Chains A and B, each alone.
Chain A
Amino acid sequence: MSGETLTSSEYIKHHLQNLTYGHLPDGSWGFAHSAEQAKEMGFWAINVDTLAISFVLGALFLIIFGRTAKKASAGAPSGLQNFVEWIVEFVDTSVRGSFTARNDMVAPLALTIFAWVLLMNLMDLLPIDYLPFVAHAVGVPFLKVVPTTDPNATFGMSIGVFVLVVYYSIKMKGVGGFVGELTLQPFGKFGLPANLFLEGVNLIAKPISLALRLFGNMYAGEMIFILIALMGASWVSATFGSSLLFGSQIVLSLGWAIFHILIVTLQAFIFMTLTIVYLDMAHQEHH
């Protein structure tokens, strides 16, 4: 925990606060020291922790896979190569199963999404106070360890996917085809406003649902970890009841962590599969 005088709600708030760098109210640039300050910074501020951790994790993925790919041989694979090939084949099978058109970009895209999201989600399994505690010790006021609990990260990816969906829709069907798809169905040309509304919602819902699903799941999971961690906060008073609470904190966070492994993997898989499906739909003439 970051300070002795924290109340429960302060503890929760502290854990949900990104390390935001931006324009402070007094006119200088610096880190926000409260949620209100971060809010006041407006759009032109950055969450340093999200960017840094997600960059490190993405780079980790690319370095491990890139090095393996460079050293790999077609002979009997080593352990790491085996693992990498297993992931790649898994993604490749998923892409072959859901994606019917030909596009060499989709499979690497899916692999990147799967591995990156999985790694970011896995940060959730680190004991919840370790990294923030270390960060606090070296003078960093806030640290949100799981990048996918920051909507910026999930929307960042889903907007990337959305741009690709629109790009390939236009590339495959032409501007006319894409506009036609948005306006001429399902009710024909006389129902144009209704069509545009329905299809527009349909189109916009894709990136939003993609981002919010991941964000919501990870945020809720993180929240439960925080609440479980709070149970043991009363341990300092060392009564029988509080030590019981501390014990149940250990049991509960272990149980939730084990269950969370499933969620973590599943969310990464869902994000990947939906991306493949959306891109497949973008490549299809009719849907």
Chain B
Amino acid sequence: MNINATLLGQTIMFVVFVWFCMRVVWPPIMQILTARRQSIADGLAAGERGKHELELASKRGAERLHEAKEKASDIIAQAEKRAAQIVEEAKGNAKVEGDRLLAGAKAEIEQEVHRAKEGLRQQVADLAVAGAEKILRREIDAKAHAELLASIKQEL
């Protein structure tokens, strides 16, 4: 319990410890603490930014979706319109085609009728000639009257 030279030793030791602490221990620890504080602040800021971006992205996504829906309904409407148009067109075409076929058939029928008339005319003429031949066989030479018959045939 006496004050003695230990005092000096303790003071020197104290000074050396403080000096060592100041040079070796304190600065790196403080540096690390500052760096960590900075990195945590950065991390928090990044998180905040990410959250914000997510919000924006989801907003944009919703917008896109809405746009797409609108476009799709547009397309559907257009397609429906087009389909109706096509149906109309087809109807028109079919009508025209039908008319054409009808006209063709009519012409053919007429032709057929004409042909039949021609045949009938020939047969009537032949029949008349045959009748007349039978009547005239007795009186008139067929050859002599052939010219006359031909002209009659022409007139028919």
State the interface size on chain A (CB cutoff 8 A). Answer: 54
Residue pair A156, B11 in contact (C-beta under 8 Å): yes
Which residues of B sit under 8 angstroms from A135, Cβ to Cβ?
A: none
B23 to chain A, nearest CB (A): 8
Which of the residues B10, B15, B32 comes within 8 Å of A152, measured between beta carbons? Answer: B10
Which of the residues A45, A88, A112, A156 comes within 8 Å of B10, measured between beta carbons? Answer: A156
Residue pair A109, B18 in contact (C-beta under 8 Å): yes
Residue in chain B with minimal CB distance to A73: B32
**With A41-B4, A72-B32, A116-B17 known to touch, is A66 a contact of B10 (CB < 8 Å)?**
no
**With A47-B6, A108-B22, A153-B6 known to touch, is A58 a contact of B13 (CB < 8 Å)?**
yes
Report the bound CA distance from A113 to B8 in whole Å: 17
Is there a chain A Cβ closer than 8 Å to B90's Cβ? no
Residue pair A107, B3 in contact (C-beta under 8 Å): no
Report the bound CA distance from A88 to B7 in whole Å: 28
Report the bound CA distance from A150 to B3 in whole Å: 9
Is there a chain B Cβ closer than 8 Å to A38's Cβ? yes
Residue pair B29, A72 in contact (C-beta under 8 Å): yes
Which residues of A sit under 8 angstroms from B26, Cβ to Cβ?
A: 69, 88, 107-108, 111
Is there a chain B Cβ closer than 8 Å to A39's Cβ? yes
Residue pair A44, B1 in contact (C-beta under 8 Å): no
Instruction: Kindly identify, within residues 23 to 37 of chain B, every residue whose CB is under 8 Å from any CB belonging to chain A.
Output: 24-26, 28-30, 32-33, 35-36
Residue pair B13, A151 in contact (C-beta under 8 Å): no
Residue pair B1, A62 in contact (C-beta under 8 Å): no
Which residues of A sit under 8 angstroms from B29, Cβ to Cβ?
A: 65, 68-69, 72, 84-85, 88
Residue pair A88, B33 in contact (C-beta under 8 Å): yes
Residue pair B11, A159 in contact (C-beta under 8 Å): yes
Report the bound CA distance from A41 to B4 in whole Å: 9
Which residues of A sit under 8 angstroms from B39, Cβ to Cβ?
A: 74
Is there a chain A Cβ closer than 8 Å to B2's Cβ? yes
Residue in chain B with minimal CB distance to A22: B4
SS of A interface (majority): helix
A85 to chain B, nearest CB (A): 6
Residue pair B4, A47 in contact (C-beta under 8 Å): yes
A35 to chain B, nearest CB (A): 8
Which of the residues A16, A51, A109 comes within 8 Å of B1, measured between beta carbons? Answer: A16
Residue pair A46, B9 in contact (C-beta under 8 Å): yes
Seed contacts A74-B35, A108-B22; 11 additional CB < 8 Å A-B pairs: A18-B6, A41-B4, A66-B24, A69-B24, A69-B29, A105-B22, A108-B21, A109-B21, A113-B18, A156-B10, A159-B11
Provide a sorted-by-A list of 25 A–B residue pairs whose CB atoms are within 8 angstroms.
A38-B2, A45-B6, A46-B9, A51-B6, A55-B13, A66-B20, A69-B26, A69-B28, A69-B29, A74-B39, A77-B36, A88-B29, A104-B22, A109-B21, A109-B22, A112-B14, A150-B6, A151-B3, A156-B7, A156-B8, A156-B13, A157-B10, A159-B11, A160-B11, A160-B14
Q: Nearest 8 A-B pairs (CB), nearest first?
A: A156-B10, A152-B6, A74-B35, A108-B22, A108-B26, A69-B28, A47-B6, A156-B11
